[in-house]
Amino acid sequence: MNWAERVSPAVRAIPPSGIRRFFDIVAETKGVISLGVGEPDFVTPWHIRESCVYGLQQGYTAYTSNYGLLELRQEIAKHCAATYGVEYDPRKEALVTVGVSEAVDLAMRAILSPGDEVLVPEPSYVSYKACVALAGGVPVTVPTTVENDFRLTVDQLEALVTPRTKALLIGYPNNPTGAIMPRDELAAIAAFAARHDLIVISDEIYATLTYSGTHTCFAALPGMRDRTILLNGFSKAYAMTGWRIGYALSNPDFIGAMTKIHQYTMLCAPVTAQVAAIEALRHGQCSVQKMVDEYNRRRRLMVEGFKNIGLDCFEPKGAFYIFPSVKQTGLSSLAFAEELLKAEKVALVPGDAFGACGEGFVRCSYASSTANLSEALTRIGRFVKNRL
Ligand code: PLP
């Protein structure tokens, strides 16, 4: 029996994540410094972990509402109103999800009909295009360039929009480039979305990790609140990747539709993580700020390090990634990553894992100790010197 042929063609057509494929090789190599995985090296702050332990002692072990604990939704709405000035009704306009990962999938499945097109700027997070395709949609790549600081322009979008375009899926600060979008340029994109009557899915999981300038919440732009499905979560800013908790905010119709799918597929997000997320929003700001300051110090170390090595490098403004060009070495992204791993035992992610326009770049995560980063820079410097 050929079981592989029994797998749905839609699933077969999706390539496995370029990051995972590469890290299977890393897992088998000893003594590697990995700057590959996009995951904080901090443990979740103790007061957040403790609130979960206390919650368990109190008997928080059952299903919650499909939408999530009302107390958490109220905290999320409060946080959003206080930080960005956007108001949501916690009863009808907020859904607690199993990470932003689930929220991206739900958003796509809730809005797309077969053949609907979704504009996806690249380089971008590896899940976006796969989620569009799995929901029956057609991802349309909008390539961004280092020459334009990896920013998205309305001219590019106008050139690719068609009568089948249903939505635009953006994520700033960006994984993998660290690019952010200035408010006036996002406002121009908002006008574009309104002109073409598009839904905007805005993944703002790195919003708090903005080091230069201020983060603009897309839903806060005039006229965008109801047109936007705003996604955010706890994985990055609160160092809570393993808890699997995030949320979506939007008008009651979109949130209702997403909740319908969520109730049949997930039922609810883990209650333990929901209890911890309440504590994170209520009292986590001080611990978050300490981590943000530390990431910012490391960001400067990396920018300086790549400058000294002699590789062209866009200065990231947010998230915890740096995306240097390796074109000067004459190697492709994949060859650079593979040869560096072999010669110097440093693991990076080839830029083309984030879309074809990421070719010629590599992604390094600086969510790693300063000692690791300094040693990795020394090794990368030695590797590059031998090739320039
Ligand atoms: N969105 C972006 C841009 C990411 O980089 C990641 C994880 O790397 C996610 C979403 C997934 O987040 P979560 O852990 O909340 O599912």
pLDDT in tens, 66-119: 999 999 999 999 999 999 999 999 999 999 999 999 999 999 999 999 999 999
> What are phi and psi for residue 17, nearest 5 degrees?
-55, 130
Distance CA 1, CA 229 (A): 43
3-44+286-387 CATH fold: Aspartate Aminotransferase, domain 1 (3.90.1150)
Q: What is the C-alpha to C-alpha distance for residues 328 and 306, in angstroms, rounded to an integer?
A: 13
The answer, yes or no, to whether residue 26 has pLDDT greater than 90, is: no
Atom 4 (ligand 1) nearest CA: 125
- Tens-place pLDDT, residues 287-316: 999 999 999 999 999 999 999 999 999 999
Give the containing element (helix H, strand E) for 248.
strand 246-249
- Taking Cα atoms as reference points, which of 19, 35, 30, 29 lies closest to residue 369? 35
| Per-residue confidence (pLDDT) for residue 21, from 0 to 100 | 65
Average pLDDT, the chain: 96
What atom in ligand 1 is closest to the CA of residue 174?
3
Nearest to 323 by CA among 35, 27, 17: 35
The beta strands (E) that lie in 123-223 are given as: 138-143, 165-170, 199-203
**What pLDDT score was predicted for residue 105?**
98
pLDDT at 29 over 80: no
For the domain 46-283, what is the CATH code? 3.40.640.10
Testing ligand 1's pocket by substitution, the residue of 215, 231, 236 carrying the most ligand atoms inside 8 A of its CB is: 236
Please report the pLDDT score of residue 18 as a whole number: 67
What residues contact residue 200 under an 8 Å CB cut-off, 6+ apart?
Answer: 167, 168, 169, 170, 189, 190, 193, 218, 224, 227, 228, 229
- Nearest Cα neighbor of 333 from 184, 201, 176 is 176
State pLDDT tens for residues 120-149: 999 999 999 999 999 999 999 999 999 999
- The CA-based diameter of the chain, rounded to the nearest angstrom, is 62
Of 122, 175, 262, 349, best ligand 1 pocket probe by most atoms within 8 Å of the beta carbon:
175
Residue spans in the chain of domains classed CATH 3.40.640.10: 46-283
Q: Tell me where in the chain the CATH 3.90.1150.10 domain(s) lie.
A: 3-44+286-387
Share of the chain above pLDDT 70, in %: 99
Higher pLDDT, 1 or 198: 198
